Structure 1
Amino acid sequence: MNPFGSPVLSVPEQSAEDLGVSSNEQQVIAFISGIPEEINDSWLEKILSTCGEIASWKRVQSADGSPQAFGFCEFKSIHDATRTVRVLGTGGLWTMPSTYSQPLNIQLDAKKKHHHERGIDSKQNDSDILQSLERIFDEIEKSKSVAQNGNEGKLSPKESANDEELVGFSLDLEEAWEKDQAKKARHKRYVTAAEEREKHISIALKERESRLERNAMRELDDVEEKQRRQEAMSALLSKWDDSQEEQLGEHEYYRDRQRWWRRRKSERAHEMEVDEADRYRQEREESANTNEAATATDQRDVIEALIKEIPSDPKLLFEWPVKWEYIDANLVKTKVEPAVRKRLVEYLGGEGDDSSVDELTEYVTAHIQQHKPPQGLVEELEMVLVDEALVFVARIWRFVVYESEACARKL
């Protein structure tokens, strides 16, 4: 696995018996990282060849063609590979000049690692290699000086050929890496959306529980207030002496019964109005909760039934008679276009700096607005989405069918 997170070129493993050679004669692939910016492919190939005989050197490039700080070197034998690690690797015999930002890091193919120690050739004349490396780095320094003075020469034919060869190699790696990143991004979006839905549901449930709790507390307060008034009245009546109160004449009932009755009727009417309003409020809240739940359930059932009614098979889906009279410019702009853009970002792996997503979104929405058949859209998008064009168009077409049916059925 590439330590930068990009996929690594897989190499079929064959045994020495299959090849008819000893293990030391088998070619070995090494992962080279930490390549300084100052060292181009031509110089690095010279450096690696000084330590051991190599079959190929391929440096990874980004999508815009700029060289990355890592690549893959195929050595012709385990001796060549281990000698290179011993000389150039971290803590090796050769120490890069301090002007370079970082040392080379060389990792052998994991399947060949067990040969590392056995492959060391202690009899190799290391002084010759070190002297050669010294000369190479002197030449590199001279070329840097020339470049700084504005006299940088053109690439040699060999360097140009190597660059062209590496473009296809690096693009394959980048494409695999980008697909993996797009897959992870889609998964992350799905997880985020699920978490958001759970969050909204949790908030709605808490609000409902809070509303029910407030209603329960209000009803409890009403019950306690009525009970308090009843207890106060019972205590008063238990000590009430009607003849004595009549003689004292302090209570309004005994002083002016008509006046007392008029006031009592007014108070009673007010109490009845308050009780009626309270009952109406409770009934309305209960009815609203019931209707809200019933309406939401009915609406969800109707929508789910419509979704199940629309076929998933592209052949049957493309034969569905779309109700185009409901697919107007406003619906395309507010609903269809965002859905198309979202799907394109998923398939292409991001918005990117170029305008490819914008152009494709405009093309797809224009195709839909012109009421053109979906099969033509599949054929046009195959140049961009290749095998995924049919699935992409089917998803978009299913959305168009759903929106037209939802509008027609007034959902």
Structure 2
Amino acid sequence: MGFMPPSPQRSVSLFVGSISGGIDDDFLNRLLSACGPVRSFKRLITPANKPQGFGFAEYEDLDSAIRAIDMLTGIELPALEDMCANKKLLVKADEKTKTMLDAHKSSRISTDQEEERTKDAKARIDELVTEINNVSQKAIDEGRLEKEKGDLPENQRGLVISEIAQFRERAAKREREKMRDMKPAAPAPSGPKVREWGKPQNTQASPPLPGNGAQRGFGNGAQGYQKPVPFVKAESETRDDRALPGKSNKTDLQLEEERQEARRRDEEASFRDRERRYEPRERNKMTALERGIARERATRDAEERDRKEIRMRLDIWDDDESDELFYMDRARWRHARARRLEAEEAADAKSRAYEEEEAENLRRESEDFLARQMDEMQALAEEQRKAGLLLDDGAPVRLNVALPAGGQHKEGPKEKATVFGQEEEEEEAAKRRKVPLVKLDFSVTETTEKAQERLEKIRTEVPTDKDTLFKRKVRWDGVTETMIDRKMEPLIKRLMIKYLGEMEEEDLIMFVLEHLKDHKAPKQLIEGLEPVLEEEAIELTVSVWRQLIFESMAYSDGLLTGDMYVDAE
């Protein structure tokens, strides 16, 4: 059976990354819809309720997905947030989807209708890009937007990253508290107390009838069945009176306005908190800068005063009237200079003698150390020789040559045999002399080999089962941020390329690195990666967590893993 191209009506999910800061979902939906019908667009949200720089778009047909990849990839979108740089949009598919799209693209027939759709999509995309560029330029002209001027200095980058992490933690905590406060209260208990929901009435009960009619609920009383219940009000009033405790009667618009107001208050409080912490630091920087400027100004003023004073002295200088010792008493000046030179030479001789003494002490210490090493090596060699592990190189070989006392000429064959036996013994002695000697200085090599063997053993002991692996405790004191940046980042990037292909956007990698630096659980990492990697999020988390457990086990044993990874590259 021949190859049948897939149906163009099949939905396709594409990865949309490198989204500039401030670009909202509404504009992205319009931009993606310009290439074809979009079924859904999902974008990850940070704990601080801020959208990430990547997401997933699901198109209803293959042709729309192909147009999105060809026409949207590389489009530069302006940043609508302060201190953010413009980014080029990235739209791509995974390997399976890419193979399917390539097969469909090679099998479809180009038609005038398809060319017209492509032309309309190109015009619509250009229109949207021009619109967002105008919005960005207008914000810049009005001073509401400030573009990124460059990277932070190295001495401030770690501080800013830690402040951002603390801000996210506080925002997440406030969000959890707010959600906990918004939970509805327990419903009112059923039974007779339900009658208390109505407002108290001023209607007076009619006189009780004799017999059982005087009981509550019978007869013509206030709660009797002979006439309508008097506390039933109009529809709006009844709905207000019977509102359950813990539930609000506000409209969705009012609730959204309250949420926006609460968010604005949280942002204002966060801004005040940052301002409170940053203001003393900036004030100290300004004070230090002012002190430095004052020192430079004082130095310049002193140099200028000295310059003016020397210039004035040189203008009125006269050798005959000078009070300098060089001009007044030349012999006395020479005597003073000689004494200064003698003092300097004495100081130099003292310094040279001290240096020679230090060199001699160092030489003696080196000789003593080498002598101790030689004694230790000889003692070790003697122990190995006694144990039979070391042979004396060049030891005399005993030859067992037994010739008869007389008749040497008569016993020719026996003499030849004896000579052959002598040659064999010489060969055996040479073989014994060529036996490789045991290295004496093998402490470093032995330690390195033992450490490597222990690391290999630890690597085989790292669990591969997901449940067992996630139950193991990570030694975060051994997994430092420096190690995460130096060793875990290349591993995570390699895994991302494996599952998503070549990618220019590093927001997903930074998301995983920040998760590790915050010492969060692996299940939270899987939940954060599932919208992007789907079922492959578990495989990536398992690979990352195996490396963390390997580093923790090695740290517990006092070993350094170096560039060793638990999984072969």
- Shared fold (TM-score greater than 0.5)? no
Which of the five TM-score ranges fits, normalised by the shorter chain?
0.3 to 0.5
**TM-score, with structure 1 as normaliser:** 0.33
Q: Which has the higher contact order (CA 8 A, sep 6+)?
A: 1
Q: Which is richer in helix?
A: 1
